Structure 1
Amino acid sequence: MTTPLAPLITDALPSRWPTVARAVALLTVITGLLLVAFAWPSVRSSVHDVPVAVAGPAPAVAQIRTALEQRLPGGFAISEVADTAAAEQLIRDRQVYGAIDLSTGTPNVILASAASTAVAQTLQSMATGLGQAGNTGTPVAVRDLAALPAEDPRGAGLAAGALPLVMGGLLSAVLLIRLVHGTGRRIAGALAFAATGGLTVAAILQFWFGSLSGSYPANVGAVALTIAATSLTVLGLESLLGIAGIGIGAIAMMLIGNPLSGTATAPEMLPGWSGTLGQLLPPGAGGRLLRSTAFFDGRGATQAITVLVAWIALGAVLCLVGGLRARRAANSA
């Protein structure tokens, strides 16, 4: 006599409808947050407190200041300088994005498109407005003190390269967490990948796409610091908080840092405080550093390097603290 076998249950029981509703609500919230994170900076982008210089006699400078304030209220933070050389020095040191030169009697506009194509376009439109206001019929001369490479005159490669740098740092952290054991080995792996990733990304952007100029080793260093800051921060958060640390790191770097980096426009063109916040995170600091090394001989890079090194140090400390805590837990067990 054989006993009939019980039917095999191949499918799990259907979820309750409240569970389905909660999943739909969560997905809706996530989609809304993604849209806000990536679209809000672009939609609300405008010119406000963009640093520019005005060179020339005090009465002429005051007249230009009034004209700029009438045309774009609150759009520019004006630095008054005596002559053309002083204005150019501020541009080269990345203290201003451009200048209006009145020292020769005829207005001239000096810009640096490599610092920001969006601001450069604004300054060019200002030059057109100055020419029309002068009623001379002669267009105002525009001179680009730091032009983008001829192979990429819009800076598309540099703007598009911001996201892969963040993704590379995040992916390296996730892979190291899954494949490598030991705090020291993970830190070493992150630094090694930052070096090889820097060599690869800088070579592609500079020698293939033609998006970068300047010193290749300096550009490698800028890319490597950006990758290392992202990777080590995520590694440190995971070692301290577990899987939640990866989520926190991804949100900080992808959903906050990348949209607020200002790499595609300029930090001053982002709404409110967001541009300042973006420069304190690895994506924004890395974008500014790469512009400095590629087009300005490293000028204006001090703050960006400080921010990136601070994130690298924070990530390493978090890794060590998490590793010590895990070792103590294993010993007590």
Structure 2
Amino acid sequence: MRYLNSVRVTQKAGTTMSEQSIETAPRAARKLGAVILGLASFLTAMLAAFVLPSVNSGPNQIPVGISGSIQVVGPLQETLGGDEWDVSHYASVDSLVSAIRERSVMGGLIITADGVDIYTASAGGPMAASAVTALGNTIAAKLHKQAAAHDLVAYPKDDPRGAGLSAAALPMILGGILPAVLLCRLFPGYQSLRIRMAGVLLFSLLAGAAITAVLQFGTGSLAGSYGLSALGLSLGMAALSVTLIGLEGVLGFAGLGLGGALMMLLGNPLSGLATGPHWLPDGWVTLGQMLPPGATGSVLRATAFFDGTGAGTPALVLAAWVVFGLLLVFITDRRGRWSRGTISAEASRPAHSVGNLA
């Protein structure tokens, strides 16, 4: 009888296991299909995010100044009044040069009887500077005049094309994502929030100082104040890391992945580090400058080449991201403490009940 019972139990267990395997097969197929579809969508989105800005890039409301006689400047302003240029008239050469140095305009044309003088600031945006130069040469050819180009704010001699600044985009973004991912894995739970926050802040300061030192003293890609540039870069990486830690605390691993993908897929191609913000498609310029990579690039460009002029707005954007991340961290901490208090209260109830019964 025991043998028969054991056989029946074995048969019943075998039937249950086969039924479970049959039931989980469609579920596994659906899960596999969802993973494949998600990966394909992710790669497609990544391709679109990186390719579309390049394909659709070009002059986009580039602010340019013009100085000269009203007989020449008037018709020229009407001709250039389109989507590519934002033309302003300046009464004198000095006022136009000051506007370029103060980043009110990306470049300027001074049209005189002797020729056309082209003033640019290539460190503010090499593609925009090239476009202004091409525009000046075209106008000089139409007027049958000679053109002379003057670069008021150029890249350092050791890196005249700004290759180092362009290449800094990816390390800068990874410098904000990797420490957040690593610290969240090594120190999980809301009890370790302070450790994670201290870690990302210390890393941001150290990495910002190190990367800026390489770019300024190693490759000669940056000029200006080393301290201000290092602080700006550190603020940018802290804005990324603190936000990602906050997203991980509120949404879990999905929040960490979502935040990292957003910064990589949108923040990197829309940062404008290589081209300057005025070379991106309309609307994407604003979005790129509102994300930490684009704001960090603008701060770094301002501190390194323009004595800090124009660094205020992007610095405020980065500070807002830090505050947003801290708010998420605070919510995570409050929620964790509330959950722990609830569990402790529920765990203590049976003990009180037993004591009352006794």
TM-score, reference length from structure 2: 0.84
- Greater shift after overlay, 198-207 or 87-96? 87-96
Match of 2:125 among 103, 116, 122: 116
* 1:235-265 deviations in Å (ceiling 9; x for gaps): 1111111111102211221111111111111
Q: 2:178 aligns with which of 168, 171, 176?
A: 171
After superposition, the C-alpha distances for 1:66-93 in whole angstroms (9 at most, x for unaligned) are 4435xxx421011211111111121111
| Aligned-pair CA distance for 1:147 | 0.4
Structure 1 residues 51 and 17, CA, compared in 2 at 3 Å: closer, same or farther?
A: same
1:189 corresponding residue in structure 2: 199
Q: Deviations over 1:14-33 (max 9, x none)?
A: 88666554443332222111
Whether 1:24 aligns to 2:33 is no
User: SS of 1:315's equivalent?
Assistant: helix
Which of residues 56, 69, 86 in structure 1 aligns to 2:95?
A: 86
3-state DSSP of counterpart to 1:114: helix
* CA separation of 1:44 and 1:93: change in aligned 2, threshold 3 A: same
Give the counterpart letter for 1:40 in structure 2: L
Q: How does 1:151-230 map to 2 (within 5 A)?
A: 151-180=158-187, 182-230=192-240
Q: Separation in 2 of the partners of 1:21 and 1:226?
A: 38
Once the two structures are superposed, residues 175-230 of structure 1 have per-residue CA deviations (whole angstroms, 9 ceiling, x without a partner) of: 12122352222222211111101110001111111110111101101110110100
The 1:21/1:174 distance shift into structure 2, 3 A limit, reads closer
- Judged with a 3 Å threshold, the aligned counterparts in structure 2 of structure 1 residues 331 and 19 are, in CA distance, closer, same or farther, namely closer
Please identify the structure whose Cα radius of gyration is greater.
2
Equivalence for 1:7: none
Is contact 1:232-1:312 (8 Å) kept?
yes
CA gap 1:22/1:44 in 2 versus in 1, 3 angstroms: same
User: Among residues 281, 285, 291, which one is paired with 2:291 in the alignment?
Assistant: 281
Please point out which of 30, 40, 43 is paired with 2:52.
40
Distance verdict in 2 for CA 1:52–1:186, change over 3 Å: same
- Aligned counterpart for 1:294 among listed residues 280, 289, 304: 304
Match of 1:300, SS?
coil
Give unmatched runs, 5+ long, in structure 2: 1-20, 344-358
Task: Find the aligned partners of 1:236 and 1:57 in 2 and give their Cα distance.
Answer: 57
Task: Please give the secondary structure, in 1, of the residue aligned with 2:115.
Answer: coil
The structural deviation recorded for 1:52 is 1.1
Give distance in 2, aligned partners of 1:170 and 1:255. 13
RMSD: 1.9
**Counterpart of 1:95 in structure 2: which amino acid?**
S
Q: 2: distance between equivalents of 1:245 and 1:18?
A: 23
Is 1:303 paired with 2:313? yes
